[in-house]
Amino acid sequence: MDESADTGTTARPRRAEAIFAATLELLATAGYEGLTMEAVALRAGVNKTTLYRWWKSKDEVLAAALTESDLLTFPVPDTGSLRGDLIETARSIHCLLTDAATAPIAAAVLAASPGRPSLAAVGRMFFADRAAREHPLFRRAVVRGELDDRTDPRLVMDMLAGAIWFRVFLRAEPVEAADIDKAVDIVLNGIAA
């Protein structure tokens, strides 16, 4: 029932992807309050005991779902230039926040996060994981001589991802393709005359 599949990364139960999908769908439709271990088990078609063998709490399974589910993963680009890589990454983030399959998950994470310390820890983990994945993009740019090696990749990604989250969810306005290019050009070259 809970034999692990060799995914080449961390050990996980055989029906991991179904469990992750059930977790994220429940979060999106029922909110953080409606997300329970019982509901996840039922929706994923696994025993509750199986679920508890792998994760001790709903925050643990949520953290695993956010970082490991195929739904929220996008490839780290390698276009040959920092500009190309940042535009591709920003487009993927925009897609994640607006695609019908993933936007409700992002909205639910946003709605659930403030004022919940356990979820804050999940958020920290999720975005630290993303930053680690994006890191090669910046390292390659340093090697190519496009980027000063004192640049803080996390701050750059906070500014790009932050601008997209902010406009989509707080300003509730569309992000055009040209806006993404312009944001990347600001990050690369600045606005000073």
Which of 1, 121, 132, 177: binder of a second copy (CB under 8 A)? 121
Token pair belonging to 3: 């034999």
Radius of gyration of the chain (CA): 18
Token pair belonging to 141: 């740019």
- Minimum gap (Å) between residue 13 Cβ and a second copy: 28
11: which residues sit within 8 A by CB, 6+ positions away?
4
Distance (Å, whole) CA 165 – CA 22: 24
Which of 30, 143, 155, 177: binder of a second copy (CB under 8 A)? 155
For a second copy, the closer CB: 41 or 180: 180
Distance (Å, whole) CA 54 – CA 67: 15
Report the SS3 class of residue 12.
Answer: strand
Which of 1, 124, 136, 143: binder of a second copy (CB under 8 A)? 124
Asked if 91 touches a second copy (CB under 8 A), the answer is no
Distance (Å, whole) CA 133 – CA 65: 16
Asked if 173 touches a second copy (CB under 8 A), the answer is yes
Asked if 151 touches a second copy (CB under 8 A), the answer is yes
83: which residues sit within 8 A by CB, 6+ positions away?
184, 185, 188
Per CB under 8 A, the segment of 16-24, 47-55, 71-79, 105-113 that binds a second copy is 105-113
Which of 52, 54, 74, 169: binder of a second copy (CB under 8 A)? 169
State the residues that interact with a second copy by CB under 8 A: 82, 104, 106-115, 120-121, 123-124, 127-128, 145-148, 151-152, 155-156, 158-167, 169-173, 179, 182-183, 186-193
